[in-house]
Chains A and B, each alone.
Chain A
Amino acid sequence: MASLLAANFFDQNFSAILNGVALGMLIFVLAIGLSLIFGLLDVINLAHGSLYLLGTYLGYQLVEHQGLPFILAAGIAIVFGLALGLVLAGALLPVRDRGHLDQVLLTLGLFFIVADLVTIIWGRDFHTITPPGFLRPSKVIFGHYYPSYRLGVIVVGLVIAVVTYVVFERTQLGAILRAAIEDRAMVAALGHNVKLATLSVVLAGSALATFAGVIGGPIEQVTPGVGDDVLLLALIVVVVGGLGSIPGAFVASLIIGQAQSLGVALGQEHGLPQAAPFALFGTMALILIARPQGLFGK
C-alpha cells in the first residue's frame, strides 16, 4: 500500500522530482566553490552569485547573439571564470582576517555592482539560452516524456561530482586541501604551498560558477535577479551539507533541489503558490535543528 502510494506520488510529480534533481546538480556545481572558499579562506563569498550571473549572460550573448555553439560558449565561460577568479582572489585578500561581516558587506557590494552592470549592458528583460541541438528533443524515461537537456545537466553534475571527489580524496593536491581546511598554518609549516593550492581552488570554483551560469541558462531564466536565487540556494546547500564538505554539499543539493522543486509544484497544485518557500526554509530549519553543524559538518 505504502509503496503503491509512493509510486503514485512519483508518477504524478515525475517532472517536478527530476527537475529537482537537475536543479540540485546545478546548485551543486555552484556550491563547490562557495564551500571550499569558505573552508580554506574562511570567507563568505556572496560574490559567487555574481559569477553565475556573469556566466549566464556571457553564455546568452555568445549563443544567442554571436551564434557560437553552446559547448564552445561553455568553454569560453570557463576561461572567463578563471580570469574572474584572479580578480576575486585579489579583492578578498585584504579582508581575509577582518571577520565575516566585513566580508559579507564587501562581497554583497560587489554582488550589487555586478547585478546593476548587467542591467546596464543587457537590460531587465527575461531571456533564455537555447540548448545544444542534440539535447533539444525530449526523451522517454520511466514511461514519461522528459526534456533531454535537463538529463544532460544531471549527467554533467554527476561527472563533476565524481571528478571533484577523486581530486579531493585521491590526489596530492586534494590531501593538501583537506589538511589545510583543518589547519592551514600547520600545512604551510610542513613546506606545502598552501597559497598556491588555495588560489587554484578560488580559480576552479569561479570557473565552475560561470560554467554553471551557462548550463543553467536553458533551465533558469537569464535575468538580473537569477544571481540572487541561485546564490541563496547554494548558500543553503553549503550550510545544510556542512561547511567545507563536498560530499555534504552533494547530498544537500539533492535534498534542497527536491524541497525547492516539489515545494513550487505542490504549492501550485494546491493553489498556494506563495507557500513554496515554506518547503525550502522549513527543510533547512529542520535539518539545522537536528544537526546544528550541517549533515556532514564536524
Chain B
Amino acid sequence: MSTSQDLANRPTASDDAPALIPLVDVVEDADGITLTADMPGAQKDTLAIDVNGDTLTIDATISLGESTGMQPLHAEVRAPRYRRSFTLSRELDLTHIDASLKDGVLNLRLPKLETARPRRIEVRAA
C-alpha cells in the first residue's frame, strides 16, 4: 500500500481506539466456511459485521453493566471493544452470510458460490 493511500484510508478516531483481537476458529467444509469468534460481553445491537471489497470486519463493543462508581481493582480485559478483519476469497457468496451471536460467541457462516462447490464429474462410457 502506498503512502498516499494510507493517508486516504486513515482510520477515524473510533477505529483508532484500543481494541482486543477476538480469538477465532475458522473451518472450511465442502459448502462454505464457518468462522466462530469469542466475543464475551458483545451484544447484538452493538455488533457490526462489514464486508468491504474482499475484507470482512467484525467489530463489537463490550458492555458489562458494571455498577456506576465502580473502581477497578484488577483487569485482564482492558479495552472496551473487539475488532478483527479477515481477507475473503472470491469463491465465497458474500450476499448470503449468516450470522448469529449467542453467549458471547459469534458464529458466521460464509457459503461458497454454487459454481465453486465441488462437483462430481460423470464419466461416460466411450
Please indicate whether A and B come from the same complex rather than being unrelated chains: no
